[in-house]
Structure 1
Amino acid sequence: MQDGQLLDFIKSRRSTRRFTSEDVSDDMLNTIMEAGRWAPSGNNNQPWRFCVVRDAELRGKIAQYTKFGAVIKNAPVLICTMIHTPSMYNDTKDHQAVGACLENMLLMIHGLGLGAVWLGEILKNAKEVRETIGLPEELELMAVVALGHPDGGTSKPTRKEMDELVVGRF
C-alpha cells in the first residue's frame, strides 16, 4: 500500500446498523474469521472462538438480551465472538487479544464491502446469550458482530484531537 492508503482505509470504516436482506456467502464469512484468526495473541494461545448465527429465530432470541435488538434482528449474520477460558493465561492480555481479533474482522468486513457493528452492550446478558445458543460454560461472550450488506448511509464519527490523547512524549 502507498503511504496513507492504510490509514485512509481505517478512517473510512464505519459501524453499520442497517442491512439489506442479501445473504453473506460462506466464503466471505470464512475470510472474515480467517482475518480474526491471524490477530496477535500472547504465547500464540489464540483464545478466540466464533459462533456464526444465521437462523432468524435464534437471532430473535438473542435480540431480546440487548437494547440494540433491532440491529440483531435486521442483520443476516451474527458472529458471536467468545473467549475460550481454558486457553487463557492472563486475563488482561487475552481480552486484548480478542479485541485485536475483532478489529481484524471489522477491517476485513469493510474490505469486502460489507458493513458491521461490534455490539458490546449485550455483554450484560452474556450468560443468557451463551445458554440460548447452547454453548459450554468454558466459552465467555466477548462481543456480537452483526454484519451484512449495508442498507443506507452511516454517520461520520468524530474523534478527539491528538493533543487530547497524547499524555506525554519523552
Structure 2
Amino acid sequence: MSFICKRRSIRKYQEKEVEQEKVLELLKAAMCAPSAWNQQPWHFIVIRDRIKKQQIAEVHPYAKMVAQAPVCIIVCCDLSLVKSEKFWPQDCSAATENILIRATELGLGSVWCGVYPDEERINGLKKLFSLPKNIIPFSVIAIGYPAEEPKPVEKFKPERIHYEGW
C-alpha cells in the first residue's frame, strides 16, 4: 500500500541511466497484470535512444518529459492476440499501472502519457516506429531516477463510497 500511495507522476529526471535489470523488473511487473480472458495482448517497446525519445515528444504534445527521461516504455496492444475487443484497453491499463507502481518500489520516477484512443497520437507513434497494422500503441511511460519529489496527496474520499446501492 505504501508504494501505491507514494506513486506520483514524475516529469523531471536525473541524468543517470536506468539499469537494464530494473527495466526488466518493470516489464515483469507489467506482464503480471490481470487480463480479460487471460489474453495478455501486450507488447512493450523500450526506448533509450535520445533522438527517438525526442521524436516521441514531438508526436505527443503532453509527453515532452520523455525527451529528458533516460528510458521510456511504450505499452502496445497486439490485436492478433485479442480474444475480446472490448477489454484490451483495460488489460493495457493494468500493465501500465503495474509498471508505475513497480518503478516507485525500485526508486524510480515515472509518468503515464496516454496515447489510446487519440488517433493522432496512435498514428504518429505507429509511423514513427513502423508498427505493424495489428499493433496499437496504448501508452508511453517516461522512466528515470527522479529529480523532483512531489509530496503525496490524500486522495481517499469516503463520501464517494456507497454500500449495497447508491
Tell whether the structures are fold-level matches, with TM greater than 0.5.
yes
Matching residue within 23, 29, 35 for 1:41: 35
Deviation string for 1:60-113 (max 9, x for gaps)?
111112223431111111100001111112223221111111111111111100
Which consecutive unaligned segments of at least 5 residues does structure 2 have? none
The whole-number CA distance in structure 1 between the counterparts of 2:162 and 2:115 is 29
Matching residue within 124, 127, 135 for 1:128: 124
Q: Is the 8 A contact 2:58 2:64 kept in 1?
A: no
> What is the match of residue 164 of structure 2?
169
- Between the two proteins, the alignment pairs up a number of residues equal to 163
Map 1:1-170 to 2 at 5 A. 7-120=1-114, 123=118, 124-159=120-155, 161-164=157-160, 166-169=161-164
What is the DSSP-based 3-state SS (H/G/I as helix, E as strand, rest coil) of the residue aligned with 1:15? Answer: coil
Which consecutive unaligned segments of at least 5 residues does structure 1 have? 1-6
The whole-number CA distance in structure 1 between the counterparts of 2:145 and 2:86 is 33
Q: Which AA in structure 1 matches 2:60?
A: T
Percent sequence identity is 26
Q: Which AA in structure 1 matches 2:75?
A: T
Q: Which AA in structure 2 matches 1:10?
A: I
What is the DSSP-based 3-state SS (H/G/I as helix, E as strand, rest coil) of the residue aligned with 2:142? Answer: strand
Larger fraction in helix: 1
RMSD between aligned residues: 1.7
Q: TM-score by structure 1 length? A: 0.88
Deviation string for 1:23-47 (max 9, x for gaps)?
0111110110011111111222110
Q: Which AA in structure 2 matches 1:146?
A: A
